[in-house]
Amino acid sequence: MKCCDTMKVALWCVVVVLIGALSFSSEAQLDPSFYRNTCPKVHSIVREVLRNVSKTDPRILASLMRVHFHDCFVQGCDASILLNNTDTIVSEQQAFGNNNSIRGLDVVNQIKTAVENACPGVVSCADILALAAEISSVLAHGPDWKVPLGRRDSLTANLTLANENLPAPNFPLDRLKSAFSKQNLTVTDLVTLSGGHTIGRSQCRFFVDRLYNFNGTGSPDPTLNPTFLQVLQAICPNDGGAGTNLTNLDVSTPDTFDNKYYSNLQSGKGLLQSDQELFSTLGAETIPIVNNFINNQSLFFENFKASMIKMGNIGVLTGSRGEIRRQCNFVNSNSLGLAIPATKDSSEDGVVSSI
């Protein structure tokens, strides 16, 4: 009898530990079927909005993919980038890498409204960004993947961290590598995710130094293809202006998600220094990865899926951490009427403006 009691207690302990472990892991893990019962149509709702908007604004696909990246690199994929300035929030939207640069936050709100109409209070803004990034890839003829879901939205934003963590377009390879390794992303992830530049545009101000005065030399970046240099100089005059003219990040196939981004690098036609560095840094470990992606688009696609899922897992809030925001630009305590109207500069319009 005594022995049975001991065994019962031991068994009970095992069960308790197992339940504990299971509930812990289900809190920590994202799951592609997270909304199966609570919002089964969420993927198609996001896709419909994006399909419609992209008919008149094909660039929106690129813009939303970038928003997900800039969200994940700053305190994790928690939609902190979407928070506007209020009395308690200092918005990340004014960070160097975001200000007058990120686009599409109005479309995120449009998606959120459509999702809330179908399943109120269930789907996080952070998950909407992750879904929008995958759907953007598909609509641009790139790979699809099952997006792990169950992220929750942050209660805070961090402008300082945004300035620290978002890589700049004039970064040399070692700084790009450290920005990615700070997020536990490898050199392969860096090369793969830079392939996001197979779609979208850049303003001249992000690469104009390469055209006229590279690293203070008074001459263009020697790695730039001479014909490409001339084309870019015509688009981006050396007039000390705002540098808001736009050009395609992928000169070969600007709106199609493919591996041409990498062949451009081979011919000196990477637009940003951060792009060209991957191929033109002498002896770099990134060169063979670029070459592999040039020779095998499926390999690039497989890597892109894996790296996007990995990036989408950075610092996620799950379980009871964070909240499901009612309005993506405000934490819930602030959307109950406590919100301070954003100034024109910090307002969504200012940041989102379609340049």
Buried b (16+ CB within 10 A) or exposed e, 73-108: bbbbbbbbbbbbbbebbbbbbbbebbbbbbbbbebb
Tell me: does residue 305 bind ligand HEM (CB under 6 A).
no
From the list 210, 203, 200, the residue with the least C-alpha distance to 245 is: 203
Interface with ligand HEM in residues 237-296 (CB under 6 A): 249, 272, 274
Q: Which of 103, 112, 210, 269 binds ligand HEM (CB under 6 A)?
A: 103
197 contacts ligand HEM (rule: CB under 6 A): yes
Backbone angles phi, psi at 247, to 5 degrees: -145, 165
Per CB under 6 A, which of residues 328..347 are in contact with ligand HEM? none
What stretches of 147-272 show up as alpha helix (H) in DSSP?
159-165, 173-181, 187-194, 208-212, 226-235, 260-266
301 binds ligand HEM (CB under 6 A): no
Among 145, 206, 262, 301, binds ligand HEM (CB under 6 A): 206
Minimum CB distance to ligand HEM smaller for 54 or for 203: 203
Is 200 one of the binding residues for ligand HEM (CB under 6 A)?
yes
Q: Is 258 known as a binding-site position? A: yes
- Can residue 59 be called a binding residue for ligand HEM (CB under 6 A)? yes
Q: Taking a C-beta distance cutoff of 8 angstroms, is the pair 65, 136 a contact?
A: yes
Contact status, residue 125 vs residue 112, Cβ threshold 8 Å = yes
Pick between residue 200 and residue 268 the one whose CB is nearest to ligand HEM. Answer: 200
Residue closer to ligand HEM by CB (options 86, 250) is: 250
Helix, strand, coil percent content, the chain, rounded in steps of 5 = 55, 5, 45
Write phi, then psi, for 54 (nearest 5 degrees).
Answer: -70, -15
Q: Which positions make up the binding site?
A: 71, 74, 76, 78, 80, 92, 167, 197-198, 250, 253, 258
Q: Which residues bind ligand HEM (CB under 6 A)?
A: 59, 62-63, 65-66, 69, 101, 103, 167-169, 171, 176, 193-194, 196-197, 199-203, 206, 249, 272, 274
